[in-house]
Amino acid sequence: MPVFEILTWRALPSVADDDMVDAMAGFSEAVKTLPGFIHQSLYKNAQGQWVCIYFWQTEAEAHASNTAVAGLKVFENLMRLIEAGSVTMEVLSALQSSDSEEALADRSTPTVPGS
């Protein structure tokens, strides 16, 4: 089963939603090329907190992605829009899934929900 990485943050007060979405779109183009990448989605809750969810094939690949993007210009562009100290990150592995018994039994083969 895939793992997912949840990032949350607050944008600087002067940042428009479209600017954040555009910066994330550029950043995602780089992330999509990394080993183990499956999917990424961006959300914003009613309190103004941004939430980005990445699906990775393994926990190691999720963690390695952070090092891989650290020096990229698209990462720097994104970070300029984010309130300092507001970023949180979690990497989670599934303990239960609605997948079939066979998929659950074979944890060595990553699957994407709905595939």
* Residue 16 pLDDT: 97
Q: Is residue 30 part of a domain?
A: yes
- End-to-end CA separation in angstroms for the chain: 12
Angle at 58 between CA 56 and CA 63, to 5 degrees: 80
Please give the average per-residue pLDDT across 11-32, as a whole number. 96
* Residue 112 pLDDT: 54
* Residue 96 pLDDT: 87
* Residue 97 pLDDT: 83
Please give the average per-residue pLDDT across 21-46, as a whole number. 96
State how many domains the chain has.
Answer: 1
Please give the average per-residue pLDDT across 16-23, as a whole number. 97
Q: Is residue 112 part of a domain?
A: no
* Residue 1 pLDDT: 84
Q: Is residue 111 part of a domain?
A: no
Please give the average per-residue pLDDT across 103-114, as a whole number. 51
Please spell the DSSP secondary structure of 33-82, one letter per residue. Answer: TSTTEEEEEEEE-TTSEEEEEEEES-HHHHHHHHHHHTT-HHHHHHHTTB
pLDDT digits (tens, 9 = 90+) for 41-99: 999 999 999 999 999 999 999 999 999 999 999 999 999 999 999 999 999 998 888 87
The CATH number of whichever domain residue 97 belongs to comes to 3.30.70.100
